[in-house]
């Protein structure tokens, strides 16, 4: 895997991988360390691979599609 150096356009924080699906127990520790972001159980087309680890930030750097449900 190549390491991305992308940063959040909103707060400038380095982006971290977004983990989708049911998170493993240690995933929460990784979230606490700002190493990953949880993307939730819902996967949608065009879901971003990386997101902003900053709480309260806009999160994923791409616009979320309109919720269908
Ligand atoms: Zn951000």
Per-residue confidence of the chain (69 residues) as pLDDT tens digits? 555 578 988 899 999 999 998 888 999 999 999 999 888 877 788 888 898 888 778 555 445 555 555
A 10 A CB-CB count for 1 gives: 4
In-domain check, residue 47:
yes
Q: Residue 6 C-alpha to ligand 1 middle, in angstroms?
A: 11
CA 68 to centroid of ligand 1, rounded, Å: 25
Q: Looking at the domain assignment, is residue 64 inside a domain?
A: no
Q: What pLDDT does residue 68 have?
A: 57
37, 59 in Cβ contact below 8 A? yes
- What domain range includes position 47? 16-51
| Domain count across the chain | 1
34 within a domain of the structure (yes/no)? yes
Residue 2 CA to ligand 1 centre (angstroms): 21
How far is ligand 1, taken at its centre, from the CA of residue 62, in Å?
11
């Amino acid at each position: 895997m190549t390491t991305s150096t992308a940063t959040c356009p909103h707060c400038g924080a380095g982006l971290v991988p977004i983990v989708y699906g049911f998170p493993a127990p240690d995933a929460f520790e990784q979230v606490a360390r700002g190493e990953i972001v949880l993307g939730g159980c819902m996967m949608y087309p065009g879901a971003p691979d990386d997101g902003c680890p900053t709480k309260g930030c806009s999160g994923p750097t791409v616009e979320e599609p309109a919720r269908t449900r």
